[in-house]
Amino acid sequence: MKENNTSIPNWLLYIILSLVFALVFVLYHLIFNKQTNWIEVLVITAIFYVCSLIYFSIFKFDKKSK
């Protein structure tokens, strides 16, 4: 019998998390009325992507070991 797999694919979750992160970052700057420093934007975005890649690589590795 075939298993029904309804979990969200990792790539889709990665895209959704990236969009949510961008939205939160923009809202933060709009709410606190701060000038956008593009170096800060690039650094924080890079940190987010690195942390996301580490998380997904660990999660994927954990899934294979079961």
User: Which of 21, 22, 25, 17 lies closest to 59 in space, CA to CA?
Assistant: 17
Evaluate if pTM is beyond 0.95: no
Each residue's pLDDT tens digit, 7-50:
667 677 777 777 787 777 777 777 777 676 777 777 777 787 78
In degrees rounded to 5, what are phi and psi of residue 37?
A: -100, 110
Would you say residue 66 has pLDDT above 60?
no
Question: Hey, where are the domains in the chain?
Answer: 11-64
- In angstroms, the CA 10 to CA 29 distance is 29
pLDDT of residue 49: 79
